[in-house]
Structure 1
Amino acid sequence: MLLTLAWGSLFFPGLFALCNWTLRRSRPEWTNSDCLMISTRLVSSVQAVLATGSGIVIIRSCSDVVNGRGCGETLGTSLSAASSQQN
């Protein structure tokens, strides 16, 4: 989990910087504000596509999305499991 966080912390700012640098080089007539706006929208679009893709993978891997439990979840860490044990 921490490795994923570290990669995301490097990937998205890096993508933003790369896009901003590329736009400034390829379109010198655009203002700084234009390049920043396009770079921000591109990074947001990439993040939305990746989030949608991960959601699709999760939905397709679970037979019961609402009541299904994750593979890494243990009985002791689940709040619903703890409440069902008390009843």
Structure 2
Amino acid sequence: MLLTLAWGSLFFLGLFALSTWGLRRARPEWPVYDCLMISTRLVSSAQAVLATASGIVIIFYCRDVVTDR
């Protein structure tokens, strides 16, 4: 469980840092606030897509969602 938490933390933190860095290089005229806001929204969108996908997988492959593991 801790390994999953560590990988998830690294993934989302890395995605945020990479998107912020990329936006600062691609659009140097934008203020830092705008780059941070877009990066935050990108990471939130990625988390929402992954959470939705995992929920769909759980619904389709578990017979009883409450008791299956």
Q: Which runs of 4+ in 1 moved over 4 A?
A: none
SS at match of 2:19: helix
Q: Which ranges of structure 1 fall in alignment gaps of 5 or more residues?
A: 72-87
Q: Spell out the pairing of 1:8-87 with structure 2 (5 A cutoff).
A: 8-65=8-65, 68-71=66-69
Tell me how far 1:9 sits from its aligned partner.
1.0
TM-score, structure 1 normalization: 0.74
CA RMSD of aligned residues (A): 1.0
Tell me how far 1:70 sits from its aligned partner.
2.4
TM-score, structure 2 normalization: 0.92
Bigger relative CO (Cα 8 Å, ≥ 6 apart): 2
Task: Give the structure with higher Rg (CA).
Answer: 1
Q: How many residues align?
A: 69
Q: Which ranges of structure 2 fall in alignment gaps of 5 or more residues?
A: none
Q: Which amino acid aligns with 1:28?
A: P
Q: Whole-Å Cα distance in 1 between the matches of residues 31 and 22 of structure 2?
A: 13
